[in-house]
A = this chain, B = another copy of it.
Amino acid sequence: MTIRYPNGQAFVPPQKKLTTDIKKLTYSNRGMTLEEDINASNQYYLVQGLAVIHKKPTPVQIVSVDYPKRSAAVIKEAYFKQQSTTDYNGVYRGKYVDFEAKETQNKTSFPLHNFHEHQINHMKAVYKQNGICFILLRFSITDEVFFLEAQHLFSYWDEQSKGGRKSIPKKYIEERGYPISISLNPRIDYLKVIDCIYFNL
């Protein structure tokens, strides 16, 4: 049986005992890079006073906690839970911003199995509330990042359940999405795309 992380990636057992931060576990080197790039961009936006957008903590189901005398509570048994929302949200110019970031090693399409039903439902609810909702997709082989508005994901997702294709063609993403070139600071300047689409700037 393949064990999967909350983000759907298969778990590959580590060679030695882990005593490090979970981020190093739950993301491959490539995934780490995308997440790090976004976190660094968010930090830049925050420090510059441009936007307040954070990654949500990884949800954990805690089963057992120890309370050693004179020191902090230690969680002794817990399990990863699946996030019931997307990973990133926050505020920009008063508007609510919500997105998920995913990457693939595919070259010609983006597989839908990177998303989960509850994430899609969450994004649909946000969309109905007029929130700014999108996905950041990275094709890791070519190191290309695209900004795609959530409604495009919805249509492919809904078609899939009716027997449609299981991925979004890259050609479609290129046509309907917005390419984001990686720069130094912010590394992934997705606010520029938001300015263009939602604020006509």
Q: Most chain-B CB neighbours within 10 Å: which of A61, A84, A89?
A: A89
In the bound complex, residues from chain B placing their C-beta under 8 Å from that of A58 are 57, 60
Contacting pair A72 B3 (CB below 8 A) = yes
Q: Is A65 an interface residue (CB 8 A)?
A: yes
Contacting pair B79 A11 (CB below 8 A) = no
Say which one of A94-102, A152-160, A168-176 lies at the interface with B: A94-102
In the bound complex, residues from chain B placing their C-beta under 8 Å from that of A98 are 91
In the bound complex, residues from chain B placing their C-beta under 8 Å from that of A81 are 57
Identical chains in the assembly: 2
Inter-chain CA distance A50–B58, complex, in Å, is 26
Q: Is A117 an interface residue (CB 8 A)?
A: no
28 contacts between A and B (CB under 8 A): A1-B70, A3-B67, A13-B67, A14-B67, A17-B64, A19-B64, A21-B61, A21-B62, A46-B125, A51-B129, A56-B56, A56-B57, A60-B62, A60-B75, A73-B80, A74-B77, A74-B79, A75-B77, A75-B78, A76-B76, A78-B78, A91-B98, A91-B129, A91-B131, A92-B129, A93-B129, A93-B130, A94-B129
Residues of A within 8 A of B (CB): 1, 3, 5, 11, 13-14, 17-19, 21-22, 25, 46, 49, 51-52, 54, 56-65, 67, 70-81, 83-85, 89-98, 122, 125-126, 128-131
